[in-house]
Structures are given as structure tokens and as C-alpha cells.
């Protein structure tokens, strides 16, 4: 696999960094099973893995046209997308990046 030195979005595209997370299933005191992030649409199929990898998506770079439309989204923000919209790319160093159109970003995740 070719090693990527830098990846930068152009036009109406946004590059997201996919960071792997643990998908844990929780059980409430009353015995109710609560699924982890995977059931909430934060999983993706990657070409180098069998099955799904659960990830959080962070904005890596924003194309010029996308910046005009996404005035409240900044580099480093955690976002939620539909994983079917993402085109995954590996950089040859174990990192996964996804290319999406700006309109495929559904919301920004803010921690408490």
C-alpha cells in the first residue's frame, strides 16, 4: 500500500479521521441491554478488516466550498455521518481517513 504523506480536502469535500473505539454493550440494573455506538450508526466496513470496526469521526480538513457551507464545523470536531456516505482510505501507517461531501455531515458531537 502506498504511504500517504498528507491528505487535504478540496471543493465540497471533507476529510474525516476515523478513530477506533470500543463498542461496549451495557446492561442496566433492570436487565435492559443497551447497545454500544455500533447500533447508532458509528460503525463502518473497512477494506482491510473482516466485519465492522467501530469508530468516531473527527474533521481532518475541509475543502474551500465546504467551508462556506459548514460555518459551524471546524477541524478537530467530532461529527456523525452515515457510514454508507464515507469512502475510507488508509495511509499505510494504520490510520483510516474518510472522504465525505459536506452535506453528509449530520451533526457535531459535543461532550459534557
In a domain, 104, yes or no: yes
In this prediction the pTM is 0.72
Report yes or no on 18 lying in a domain: yes
Q: How far apart are CA 55 and CA 17, in angstroms?
A: 9
Q: Return the CATH number at 67.
A: 2.30.33
Is residue 88 in some structural domain?
yes
> What is the C-alpha separation between 105 and 28, in angstroms, rounded?
31
> How far is Cα of residue 6 from the mean position of the Cα atoms in its chain?
18
Residue 8 falls within a domain, yes or no? no
Pull the grid cell for residue 92.
Answer: 499505510
Q: What pLDDT score was predicted for residue 35?
A: 53
Residue 4 lies in a domain: no
73 within domain boundaries: yes
What would the mean pLDDT of 77-99 be, rounded to a whole number? 85
Domain assignment of residue 53, given as a range: 13-109
Phi and psi of 55, rounded to 5°?
A: -140, 160
Is 47 domain-assigned? Answer: yes
- Does position 50 have pLDDT exceeding 70, yes or no? no
- Band of pLDDT at residue 6, cut at 50, 70 and 90: confident
Number of folded domains that form the chain? 1
The confidence score (pLDDT) of residue 40 equals: 46
Amino acid at each position: 500500500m502506498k504511504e500517504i504523506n498528507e491528505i487535504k480536502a478540496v471543493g465540497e469535500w471533507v476529510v474525516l479521521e476515523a478513530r477506533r473505539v470500543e463498542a461496549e454493550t451495557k446492561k442496566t440494573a433492570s436487565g435492559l441491554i443497551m447497545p454500544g455506538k455500533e447500533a447508532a450508526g458509528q460503525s463502518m466496513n473497512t477494506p482491510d478488516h473482516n466485519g465492522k470496526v467501530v469508530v468516531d469521526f473527527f474533521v481532518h480538513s475541509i475543502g474551500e466550498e465546504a467551508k462556506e457551507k459548514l460555518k459551524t464545523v471546524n477541524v478537530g470536531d467530532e461529527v456523525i455521518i452515515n457510514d454508507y456516505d464515507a469512502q475510507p482510505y488508509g495511509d499505510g501507517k494504520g490510520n483510516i481517513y474518510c472522504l465525505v461531501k459536506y452535506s453528509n455531515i449530520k451533526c457535531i458531537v459535543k461532550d459534557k
